[in-house]
């Protein structure tokens, strides 16, 4: 099995946001800044990697009738670890992300990778798959948050570089849809020419 392909498909070929259009709730809800996008992306990456590893380890011990609920309990355990860690060590980011942290439990990217990949593959491949998908998600959220922050606030990762008013719509909900639409169009154009 090609481990490099497992890792890179989440970054490029099957990017959860730009190609598969998964995880739209946190994608649109928390990406008003680059820091928020990166924070949510890294939190989701941690949950993806850890839950994929555990699901791959216990896949043969879980009866088919309770497979999905068992996967959700595994995922929820790691989300709780992320939530409590963020609350303790990065409280400002925790406050900014708010309700979207517990919603990682029901993020279709995480459950989909547990069910579709980790439950059918070995631990190493599952860990690489989770890392690739998670970093692809983090990259997409960071790019989206960066563009929205630059256009809407005149800053990048909180560092202001433009004086005066920026284009407020980009930090509001409609701005998320506008930027995401243009980024998806750009990614599709680049994929067709490559």
Q: What is the pLDDT of residue 164?
A: 74
pLDDT in tens, 159-194: 888 887 788 899 888 999 999 999 999 988 888 886
Sorting pLDDT into bands at 50, 70 and 90, what band is 11?
confident
pLDDT in tens, 110-161: 999 999 999 999 999 999 999 999 999 999 999 999 999 999 988 899 888 8
CA-based angle 109:111:114, to the nearest 5? Answer: 105
Residue with tokens 């949510």, as numbered in its chain: 40
Q: Which residue has the higher pLDDT, 17 or 139?
A: 139
Q: What is the pLDDT of residue 8?
A: 78
Q: CA torsion, points 62, 66, 71, 77, in degrees to nearest 10?
A: -100
Q: Where are the beta strands (DSSP E) in 61-167?
A: 155-156, 159-160
Sorting pLDDT into bands at 50, 70 and 90, what band is 6?
low
Q: What is the pLDDT of residue 20?
A: 81
Q: What is the pLDDT of residue 124?
A: 94
CA-based angle 48:67:112, to the nearest 5? Answer: 35
Whether 1 has a pLDDT exceeding 70, the answer reads no
pLDDT in tens, 40-66: 999 999 999 999 999 999 999 999 999
Q: What is the mean pLDDT of the chain?
A: 90
Whether 26 has a pLDDT exceeding 90, the answer reads no
Q: What is the pLDDT of residue 70?
A: 95
Residue ranges of the domains in the chain? 3-193
Choose among 165, 31, 40: nearest CA to 93. Answer: 40
């Amino acid at each position: 099995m090609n481990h490099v392909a497992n890792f890179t498909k989440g970054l490029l070929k099957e990017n959860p946001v730009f190609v598969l259009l998964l995880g739209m709730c946190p994608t649109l809800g928390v990406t008003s800044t680059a820091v928020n996008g990166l924070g949510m992306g890294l939190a989701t990456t941690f949950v993806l990697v850890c839950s994929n590893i555990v699901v791959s380890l216990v896949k043969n011990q879980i009866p088919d009738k309770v497979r999905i609920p068992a996967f959700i309990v595994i995922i929820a355990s790691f989300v709780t670890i992320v939530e409590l860690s963020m609350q303790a060590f990065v409280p400002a980011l925790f406050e900014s992300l708010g309700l979207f942290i517990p919603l990682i439990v029901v993020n279709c990217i995480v459950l989909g990778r547990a069910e579709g990949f980790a439950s059918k593959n070995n631990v190493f491949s599952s860990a690489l798959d989770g890392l690739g998908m998670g970093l692809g998600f983090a990259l997409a959220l960071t790019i989206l948050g960066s563009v929205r922050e630059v256009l809407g606030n005149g800053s990048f990762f909180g560092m202001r570089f433009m004086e005066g008013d920026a284009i407020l719509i980009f930090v509001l909900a409609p701005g998320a849809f506008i930027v995401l639409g243009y980024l998806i169009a750009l990614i599709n154009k680049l994929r067709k020419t490559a």
